[in-house]
Amino acid sequence: MELGKHLRRGILAVLIACAAPASAFAYSECSGKVQRIWIGDSGSVWIFLQSGPAAALSANDPNREGALAAAMSAQATGRNVTLRFSADSVSCSVQVARFDFVGMYLE
């Protein structure tokens, strides 16, 4: 009897958790070869793709050094990267600086 009571509570907790609204994680990703890298302006880093948006990272961005290393590696070896931006529906065909960079894949 005690086990059945705990089981019902557990099932109820799972059902409530499933019914709770979940936030959607919206982001955009753009892929391509690294065309150039800008380092300057008080420690900022800009990573430009051959076509598409550039990732602009401020000096205090915790991903700055890792992204710079990955971008330099990709540029030196000719590998593609995929840049992730926090905004949804980013155009990957428009060359514009984006300040909502959140991560990068080295393909």
In the chain, where the domains are located: 28-106
Per-residue pLDDT averaged across 34-43, rounded? 93
* pLDDT for the residue numbered 25: 73
- Which string of DSSP letters, residue by residue, matches 40-63? ETTTEEEEEESSSPEEEE-TT-TT
Reported for 37-44, long-range contacts at CB under 8 A and 24+ positions apart, including other chains, are 37/68, 37/71, 37/72, 37/75, 39/68
Per-residue pLDDT averaged across 11-35, rounded? 71
Per-residue pLDDT averaged across 44-50, rounded? 97
Per-residue pLDDT averaged across 40-57, rounded? 94
pLDDT band at 61 (very low <50, low <70, confident <90, very high): very high
For domain 28-106, give the CATH number. Answer: 2.40.50.70
Highest mean pLDDT among 8-12, 74-78, 88-92: 74-78
Q: Is the overall model pTM greater than 0.85, yes or no?
A: no
